[in-house]
Amino acid sequence: MPTLRQKSEPSSQGGLDADLAGIDALDIPLQPAPSLASRAWSALWPKLAAIGLFLAVWQTVVWLEWKPTYVLPPPGPVFERLVSDLADGVLLTATWITLRRAVVGYAIAMVIGVTLGLAVARFRHLRTALGSLITGLQTMPSIAWFPLAILLFQLTEETITFVIVLGAAPAIANGFLHGVDHIPPLLLRAGKVLGARGFATYRHIVLPAAMPGFVAGMKQGWAFAWRSLMAGELLVIIASRPSLGVRLQFARELSDAEALLAAMIVILVIGIIVDAVFFGRLEYAIRKRWGLLSSAS
């Protein structure tokens, strides 16, 4: 290492230091930080307004008597039913069963998706061979897998997990690939100049640089997993596993529209929470870190 020998004229030296410090101070962008309360409010009110609008439309449709109320009940009784179903535990049990399936299926899809994405990104021939196949799998509606899955695994948990994995893994792999493809070549070159080779390149440069695309793929993978799971729970009804899908199905058979809508609200809310709280935060953190947030967003 070139070691520093501090010998220089103090006068001009001090001048340069002051100049640099001055220009640095001027160059640092000023960022007025809005208060936490105002930030929370500006994030919250559009969502509240949207919910309000949705409820208003729903209520209006009911008032217009488009359908009888035993088929399409108004929001009030549905929310009362939601609260009571949650309170007596049936809806919570169902949510728990469904969520557990989602987590297990998604975790397996992550492992497979990342492994596949890494392998395809690393080996060119594998990419030529599998690249379009992965995209093809991604566009295949997951419900189309169920007949085969049921033949293979009968009406079991494995059937549902199988379809979740097939739905989510290609999206995750593709997102990862997309992330790798969009790494600025300059960063790869910089890594090479710094002496990164082989595994170190992947660990220190490629993986972190691919994160934005990867998170987008993970998010899409989650959406596919959640959809596949719901389709699966309607088709594959397993005794003693009263999942959210089973509740939907039974509520329809019993013409219990309030219970049906209450379960649907739970499904929707879970989807929103996972997307906004988990993936939304992850995306926000990455964009903030990378400086990709504009002051408008």
Residues that bind another protein (CB under 8 A): 1-8, 12-13, 16-17, 19-21, 23-24, 27-29, 186-187, 189-190, 192-196, 200, 204-205, 208-209, 211, 286, 289-291
**Residue 65 φ/ψ region, left for φ over 0, alpha for ψ in the -120 to 50 degree band, beta for the rest:** left
**Nearest-approach distance from CB 10 to another protein, in angstroms:** 13
Least Cβ distance, residue 285 to another protein (angstroms): 11
Q: How far apart (Å, rounded) are the C-alpha atoms in residues 140 and 138?
A: 6
Nearer to another protein, 178 or 287 (CB): 287
Q: How far apart are CA 267 and CA 98, in angstroms?
A: 9
Q: Which is nearer to another protein, 21 or 51 (CB)?
A: 21
Minimum distance between the CB of residue 289 and another protein, rounded to whole angstroms? 6
Q: Provide the minimum distance between the beta carbon of 94 and another protein in the complex, in angstroms, as a whole number.
A: 40
Q: Find out whether 226 and 102 touch, Cβ atoms under 8 Å.
A: yes
Q: How far is the CB of 45 from another protein (least distance, A)?
A: 29
In this complex, which beta carbon is closest to another protein, that of residue 3 or of residue 240? 3
Of 156 and 201, which CB lies nearer to another protein in the complex structure? 201
Q: Which of 120, 145, 124, 115 is nearest to 135 (CA)?
A: 120
DSSP 280: I
CB of 6 to another protein, least distance (A): 7
Return the number of other C-beta atoms located less than 10 Å from residue 151's C-beta.
9
Please identify, using beta-carbon distances, which residue of 2 and 46 lies nearer to another protein.
2
Residues 6+ apart with CB under 8 A from 273: none
Q: What whole-number distance in Å separates Cα of residue 167 and Cα of residue 102?
A: 12
Residues contacting residue 253 through CB under 8 Å, at least 6 positions apart = none
Question: Do residues 218 and 168 touch, judged by C-beta distance below 8 A?
Answer: no
Torsion of CA 216, 218, 223, 226, to 10 degrees: -170
Going through 145-236 in order, the beta strands assigned E by DSSP cover none
**102 versus 211: smaller Cβ distance to another protein:** 211
Residue placing its CB nearer to another protein in the complex, 46 or 198: 198
Tell the smallest beta-carbon distance from residue 113 to another protein (Å): 21
